[in-house]
Amino acid sequence: MPNIEMECIKGVIFIRFKNEKEINKNYKKISEMIKDNQINNIVFNLKNINKIDRKGIKLLNYNYSLCKRNNGSIYFCNMKKDIENILLKNYLPITNNELTALNLFNI
């Protein structure tokens, strides 16, 4: 996944997309990684995402559901205001930045 940066800090996986195409392009790989490794705490950094379509929202919702099934949490951060509004309408948890998200996990 060359256009996605991933990092693990204190058991939380941080996924940083380089652009909006990467959400749809790598969705299956990310979802399989979550399922196969029973990953339960993830932060999606959406800083480089300028727009998101219905498919992208559906994919983020699916990963949210996977983390919940694994008794974990997921947060979305660093997004533009219009994307933030879309995520809020879809009841997805958002934070201002990665540090705030990390502090929200009970680890």
Indicate the number of domains in the chain.
1
Distance between CA 5 and CA 86 in Å, rounded?
23
Distance between CA 64 and CA 96 in Å, rounded?
18
Tens digits of pLDDT across the chain (107 residues): 557 899 999 999 999 988 888 887 888 888 899 989 989 999 999 999 999 888 888 889 999 999 999 999 999 999 999 999 999 988 999 999 999 999 999 77
Which residue segment(s) compose the domain that 80 sits in?
Answer: 4-104
Distance between CA 35 and CA 20 in Å, rounded?
23
CATH number, domain of 77, equals 3.30.750.24
Question: At a CB cut-off of 8 Å and minimum separation 6, what does 79 contact?
Answer: 46, 47, 49, 87, 94
Full-model pTM: 0.89
| One-letter amino acid for residue 23 of the chain | I
